[in-house]
Amino acid sequence: MFLLNKKKKTSGDKHIDQLANIVGPNEILYKKEDLLSYDCDGFVIEKALPKAVVFPKNTEEVASLVKYCSANQLPFLARGAGTGLSGGAIPLNEEVIISLVKMKKLISVDYENRQAVVQPGFVNLKLTNSISDKGYYYAPDPSSQYVCTIGGNVAENAGGAHCLKYGVTTNHILGLEVVLPNGEIIEISENGVPDSPGYDLLGLLTGSEGTLGIVTKITVRILKNPQGKQTVLAYFDDIEDGSHAVSDIVSAGIVPAALEMMDKVAIEGVEAGSFPVGHPKDIEALLLIEVDGISAGIEEQIDEILKVCHKRNVREVKVAQSEEERGAWWANRKTGFGAMGAISPDYLVQDGVIPRSTLPKVLSNISEISQEYGLRIANIFHAGDGNLHPLILFDARVPGETEKALKAGTACLKACADVGGSITGEHGVGIEKKEEMRFIFSDEELDAQTQIREVFNPENLLNQGKLFPTPSRCMDVKKIVKDTVAH
Amino acid sequence: MFLLNKKKKTSGDKHIDQLANIVGPNEILYKKEDLLSYDCDGFVIEKALPKAVVFPKNTEEVASLVKYCSANQLPFLARGAGTGLSGGAIPLNEEVIISLVKMKKLISVDYENRQAVVQPGFVNLKLTNSISDKGYYYAPDPSSQYVCTIGGNVAENAGGAHCLKYGVTTNHILGLEVVLPNGEIIEISENGVPDSPGYDLLGLLTGSEGTLGIVTKITVRILKNPQGKQTVLAYFDDIEDGSHAVSDIVSAGIVPAALEMMDKVAIEGVEAGSFPVGHPKDIEALLLIEVDGISAGIEEQIDEILKVCHKRNVREVKVAQSEEERGAWWANRKTGFGAMGAISPDYLVQDGVIPRSTLPKVLSNISEISQEYGLRIANIFHAGDGNLHPLILFDARVPGETEKALKAGTACLKACADVGGSITGEHGVGIEKKEEMRFIFSDEELDAQTQIREVFNPENLLNQGKLFPTPSRCMDVKKIVKDTVAH
């Protein structure tokens, strides 16, 4: 470490020059004023400046950058659009940020085999826009899809409103090209044939939050547009009635494309945001339900959904009468997080998963947490798959309130873990939730995970300090590896 | 190694006694005549006797057995029903076989959250049978489902005819309890909440062919029975027409629950087997297509399928008129492999995957391979997801013919790899296809995989010599691990 620091002090500029040699002088930022936009991602509570930001144009440049960093012991990490919500792209260790936004090509589309190949910086929604004229779309739809990149989606295993029926990112990734932390380029299932032999590296890399390698090419599954689609909006006076309606719909054998819920505080937020649609302010919960598929089957499912809602004492329920109305409902929902800015100076998004049947219990726990910490909490979430998003509203200008919000967030995650749930559904662990990993993993289980990181990322130069609790068990891991070698 | 051999010679009986102490004297086999049934699994071409077979009754016994084997350097492996087709349970190194057939309980069913917990020895079809009265089923349906175990399905990431729409085993596993090769017990996503944080160990373990740990408890997703179901049988005079019909159906936006194909030789086999249904013997191909879902939508999809078949010059196409007729067609299909015994003394099942659009080309390559080796090859396969099963017919009594069959099998896999496909869709690599791993993986990629095995299975006592090419790159791996430690 002494040697490293000394090196840095005497040859900081040399590294910048060498990195610039790889990507070209216009593809690197290193002045403080340029680096400020890279001090955090969508998780804004911790910030730190990177050493530099480089913009490679192709896989070979990424590999050269990685080799250089590795040879010179420079920590580094990859960044997409920076919309991540758990701090996975924050340069805590003065990293060289390898930004992939200039690797943004749609390389090819193979309609016959239903797959497309994209560079990691390609924006999620652009894929659907590029293939919709042929009647196809890309399913994972995080709320940030108009700006987030598919590379970032792979890192975080991003979800979205329509993941109840269609699955999260990992269910749509058919192949990856990856630059390993030593600069080697590997292809995993490159031709998009599913279920590759050997260990499931595709699944392992997807959702590994940028700690195992840098994805430089992605083969994704594309889907044929459903023939038909109908959307229902249901208003409830009682949040438990709304929760039971969620379970009842799924128990009826319906798999909606989306099954979203918002509570009263969330509704206040979205109605104060950029896309109000006139939800009544005095209801306790709303459900936004979408069914898609073969046209002939949809009417029947909608009838069943309406029946369930009435059985559960819905105040009002309506079916979208036009594509415009449907679009407005979704815009209102999808800007939900951001809309909280209209009713609170700051907010913290949490992301827990629970068994669907525990929804009423956990929502009531969250309400107690809100009272305990004296902070309002809005709930806006993917109810169908039990993926909660408590939004903790706070004011960072009030001393101590940020810490209180963080503690309330942790308490929400604990409530999820306590009913047998998990601490993240789609936003990742990053730096935000690494301590909370202990809620659900034993030391042995964390060991198995950190040892996998060691395999890919033995020097831990790539995105260090993320995903696992600190002080890390690195020493133990080294010991285990040593023991292994000793045998 | 010298020490190991010496130990074995002087204390063979001691080990048997100690193992018997763990499971009880009636739960161990060690006499040669008892061991003979365990010398191979569904891949009958290589055989070897185990040291012993033990039958633990619970996780703790499995952990104690593993600890004992590990402490005494005894190679060991887990076995389910022994229906695996790639030799994953064959005791090549005089292993202690840990049979899981007595851990065969259905532990619990949670209908509200749609999941069930089973022990590894629980038979696949029994799960559906146990929950069907409540209107639920378990989706993965390998042809051996009436006897194969869910633990074995997890090891091999088993598929089945209905995996086109519903996905293979990995898509239905929500949690695992695993005994690691050092005897530690870990829980992965124990409560069945999907998308666990950290690395996707669930995906990594599923399909790892018994080389990373022994699964002792499994949480699976259960599905609500579809409202309706219809099945179509289509006979083609030209195999290319049949192949194009497959692509056309999928391109029409239909996702059939199953989309199976058989060629002329396969039809000859199934009609000579136990469940003939009167398929014409002079057709070149048949498609068996099943659509399920909301009743109202099915008719429309069936109409579209019939239209596609007629466009592709189908000779005859019919819709099953009763559950009995549907059942007969499926029994005929599902006993397809075994039925080959009626037309050939021996047969070798292969299992390749190809992009759907290359189906006509690869079928024609397989036909050339058949001519080249002078062996008949039947094709019976999951056409919808491009998962081919060439069945190579041969007579082991004819000197040299087994070798010829193996070579023809390798040539079939090469043909799949050459069009960008893969060497296994659902049967695994085992010992059968480990050399063929080189068709699709570079040395670096195999290194990454073997290093993952090292993390879980550092002494390589668990199911050694499977999954990766030999001579293994073990020495290189050790070197890499050592380098890591040196840093």
Q: Is the dihedral of CA B204, B91, B462, B464 positive or negative?
A: negative
Compute the average pLDDT of residues B303-313.
97
pLDDT of residue B392: 96
Q: How many angstroms separate the CA of residue A113 from the nearest CA in chain B? A: 6
Q: With 50 as the cut, is the pLDDT of residue A136 above it?
A: yes
Question: Nearest by CB to B445, which of A186, A226, A441?
Answer: A186
Residues with Cβ < 8 Å from A154, sequence gap 6 or more? A120, A169, A173, A176, A205, A206, A207, A215, A218
Identify the helix (H) or strand (E) that includes residue A218. strand A214-221
**B227 contact residues in A (CB cutoff 8 A):** 253
**B483 contact residues in A (CB cutoff 8 A):** 458
**A484 contact residues in B (CB cutoff 8 A):** 454, 458-459, 481
Kindly determine whether residue B481 and residue A484, on different chains, have CB atoms separated by under 8 Å: yes
Categorize the per-residue pLDDT at A156 as very low, low, confident or very high, splitting at 50, 70 and 90. very high
Better pLDDT: A411 or A227: A411
Categorize the per-residue pLDDT at A194 as very low, low, confident or very high, splitting at 50, 70 and 90. low
Kindly determine whether residue B440 and residue A482, on different chains, have CB atoms separated by under 8 Å: no
Categorize the per-residue pLDDT at A479 as very low, low, confident or very high, splitting at 50, 70 and 90. very low
Fold designation for A227-343: Alpha-Beta Plaits (3.30.70)
Kindly determine whether residue B203 and residue A198, on different chains, have CB atoms separated by under 8 Å: no
Question: Could you tell me if B17 lies within 8 Å of chain A, comparing CB atoms?
Answer: no
Calpha distance A233→A283 (Å, rounded): 13
The string of pLDDT tens digits covering residues A283-300 is 999 999 999 988 888 999
Question: Nearest by CB to B484, which of A157, A226, A458?
Answer: A458
Kindly determine whether residue A296 and residue B293, on different chains, have CB atoms separated by under 8 Å: no
Question: Could you tell me if B73 lies within 8 Å of chain A, comparing CB atoms?
Answer: no
Cα-based angle A355, A357, A360 (whole degrees, multiple of 5): 110
Compute the average pLDDT of residues B257-279.
94
SS (H, E, C) A304-318: HHHHHHHHCCEEEEE
The yes or no reply on domain B106-224 and CATH 3.30.465.10 is: yes
Lowest mean per-residue pLDDT among A9-13, B123-127, B309-313: A9-13
Calculate what percentage of chain B has a pLDDT beyond 70: 93
pLDDT of residue B472: 45
The string of pLDDT tens digits covering residues A44-101 is 889 999 999 999 999 999 999 999 999 999 999 999 999 999 999 999 999 999 999 9
| The CATH classification of domain A2-99, taken from the options 3.60.15.10, 3.40.50.150, 3.30.465.10, 3.30.43.10 | 3.30.43.10
Question: Could you tell me if A452 lies within 8 Å of chain B, comparing CB atoms?
Answer: yes
pLDDT of residue B480: 40
Question: Nearest by CB to B355, which of A191, A421, A429?
Answer: A191
Cα-based angle B30, B31, B36 (whole degrees, multiple of 5): 95
Calpha distance B256→B239 (Å, rounded): 20
Compute the average pLDDT of residues A345-352.
92
- The average confidence (pLDDT) of chain A is 90
| SS3 (DSSP) at A341 | helix
Better pLDDT: A81 or A162: A81
Kindly determine whether residue B484 and residue A440, on different chains, have CB atoms separated by under 8 Å: no
pLDDT of residue A286: 97
Identify whether the C-beta of residue B236 lies closer than 8 Å to the C-beta of residue B289: no
CA-derived radius of gyration, chain B = 23
SS (H, E, C) chain B: CHHHHHHHHHHHHHHHHHHHHHHCHHHEECCHHHHHHHCCCCCCCCCCCCCEEECCCCHHHHHHHHHHHHHCCCCEEEECCCCCCCCCCCCCCCCEEEECCCCCCEEEEECCCCEEEECCCCEHHHHHHHHHHHCEECCCCCCCCCCCEHHHHHHHCCCCCCHHHHCCHHHHEEEEEEECCCCCEEEECCCCCCCCCCCCHHHHHCCCCCCCCEEEEEEEECEECCCEEEEEEEEECCHHHHHHHHHHHHHCCCCCCEEEEEEHHHHHHHHHCCCCCCCCCCCCEEEEEEEEECHHHHHHHHHHHHHHHHHCCEEEEEECCCHHHHHHHHHHHHCHHHHHHHCCCEEEECCEECCHHHHHHHHHHHHHHHHHHCCCEEEEEEHHHCEECEEEEECCCCCCHHHHHHHHHHHHHHHHHHCCCECCCCCCCCCCCCCCHHHHCCHHHHHHHHHHHHHHCCCCCECCCCCCCCCCCHHHHHHHHHHHHHC
Question: Could you tell me if A46 lies within 8 Å of chain B, comparing CB atoms?
Answer: no
Kindly determine whether residue B440 and residue A196, on different chains, have CB atoms separated by under 8 Å: yes
Q: List the single residue in B with minimal CA-CA distance to A186.
A: B445
**B256 contact residues in A (CB cutoff 8 A):** none
Q: With 80 as the cut, is the pLDDT of residue B470 above it?
A: no
Q: Is the dihedral of CA B419, B368, B276, B80 positive or negative?
A: negative
Lowest mean per-residue pLDDT among A334-338, A472-476, B416-420: A472-476
ipTM: 0.82
> Which amino acid does the sequence have at A379?
N
pLDDT of residue A11: 37
Between positions 160 and 199 of A, the ones with CB within 8 A of B are 168, 170-171, 180, 184, 186-199
Kindly determine whether residue B420 and residue A208, on different chains, have CB atoms separated by under 8 Å: no
Question: Could you tell me if A145 lies within 8 Å of chain B, comparing CB atoms?
Answer: no
Q: With 60 as the cut, is the pLDDT of residue A259 above it?
A: yes
pLDDT of residue A124: 97
Cα-based angle B414, B418, B423 (whole degrees, multiple of 5): 50
| SS3 (DSSP) at A90 | coil
- CA separation, residue A94 to residues A8, A33, A53 (Å): 11, 15, 11
Q: Considering only CA atoms, which of A393, A41, A88, A27 is closest in space to residue A214?
A: A88
Q: B228-418: which CATH architecture? A: 3-Layer(aba) Sandwich (3.40)
Q: With 80 as the cut, is the pLDDT of residue B62 above it?
A: yes
Compute the average pLDDT of residues A180-191.
86
Cα-based angle A244, A245, A251 (whole degrees, multiple of 5): 90
pLDDT of residue A481: 39
The string of pLDDT tens digits covering residues B212-262 is 999 999 999 999 999 899 999 999 999 999 999 998 998 888 989 999 999
Q: With 60 as the cut, is the pLDDT of residue A483 above it?
A: no
pLDDT of residue A5: 41
Which of A204, A354, A455 should one mutate to test binding to chain B, selecting the residue with the greatest count of B CBs within 10 A?
A455
Kindly determine whether residue A159 and residue B114, on different chains, have CB atoms separated by under 8 Å: no
**B422 contact residues in A (CB cutoff 8 A):** 189, 193, 195-197
Calpha distance A407→A417 (Å, rounded): 15
Identify whether the C-beta of residue B380 lies closer than 8 Å to the C-beta of residue B263: yes
Which of B186, B200, B413 should one mutate to test binding to chain A, selecting the residue with the greatest count of A CBs within 10 A?
B200
Helix, strand, coil share of chain A (percent; to 5): 40, 20, 40
Q: How many angstroms separate the CA of residue B271 from the nearest CA in chain A? A: 31
Calpha distance A283→A455 (Å, rounded): 52
Calpha distance A382→A359 (Å, rounded): 11
pLDDT of residue B192: 56
Better pLDDT: A13 or B21: B21
**A433 contact residues in B (CB cutoff 8 A):** 197
Compute the average pLDDT of residues B31-54.
94
Which of A189, A195, A255 should one mutate to test binding to chain B, selecting the residue with the greatest count of B CBs within 10 A?
A195
Q: Where are the domains of chain B?
A: 2-99, 106-224, 228-418, 441-486
Question: Nearest by CB to A197, which of B186, B225, B423?
Answer: B423
**A437 contact residues in B (CB cutoff 8 A):** 197-198
Calpha distance A74→A461 (Å, rounded): 7
Q: With 60 as the cut, is the pLDDT of residue B473 above it?
A: no
Q: How many angstroms separate the CA of residue B311 from the nearest CA in chain A? A: 18
Lowest mean per-residue pLDDT among A251-255, B90-94, B179-183: A251-255
Identify whether the C-beta of residue B389 lies closer than 8 Å to the C-beta of residue B378: no
**A212 contact residues in B (CB cutoff 8 A):** 199
Compute the average pLDDT of residues A457-464.
95
pLDDT of residue B483: 42
Calpha distance A66→B316 (Å, rounded): 60
For residue B164, which phi and psi values (nearest 5 degrees)? -60, -50
Compute the average pLDDT of residues A376-385.
92
Question: Could you tell me if B420 lies within 8 Å of chain A, comparing CB atoms?
Answer: yes
DSSP string, A285-336: EEEEEEEEESHHHHHHHHHHHHHHHHHTTEEEEEE--SHHHHHHHHHHHHTH
Lowest mean per-residue pLDDT among A91-100, B296-305, B370-379: B296-305
Q: How many angstroms separate the CA of residue B168 from the nearest CA in chain A? A: 8
Q: List the single residue in B with minimal CA-CA distance to A478.
A: B485
Q: How many angstroms separate the CA of residue A208 from the nearest CA in chain B? A: 6
Q: What is the largest CA-CA distance in chain A?
A: 73
Question: Could you tell me if A157 lies within 8 Å of chain B, comparing CB atoms?
Answer: yes
Categorize the per-residue pLDDT at A195 as very low, low, confident or very high, splitting at 50, 70 and 90. low
Kindly determine whether residue B186 and residue A448, on different chains, have CB atoms separated by under 8 Å: yes
Better pLDDT: A152 or B337: A152
Contacts A–B by Cβ distance under 8 A:
250
Categorize the per-residue pLDDT at B196 as very low, low, confident or very high, splitting at 50, 70 and 90. confident
Q: How many angstroms separate the CA of residue A81 from the nearest CA in chain B? A: 21
Q: With 90 as the cut, is the pLDDT of residue A236 above it?
A: yes
Q: With 60 as the cut, is the pLDDT of residue B481 above it?
A: no
pLDDT of residue B336: 83
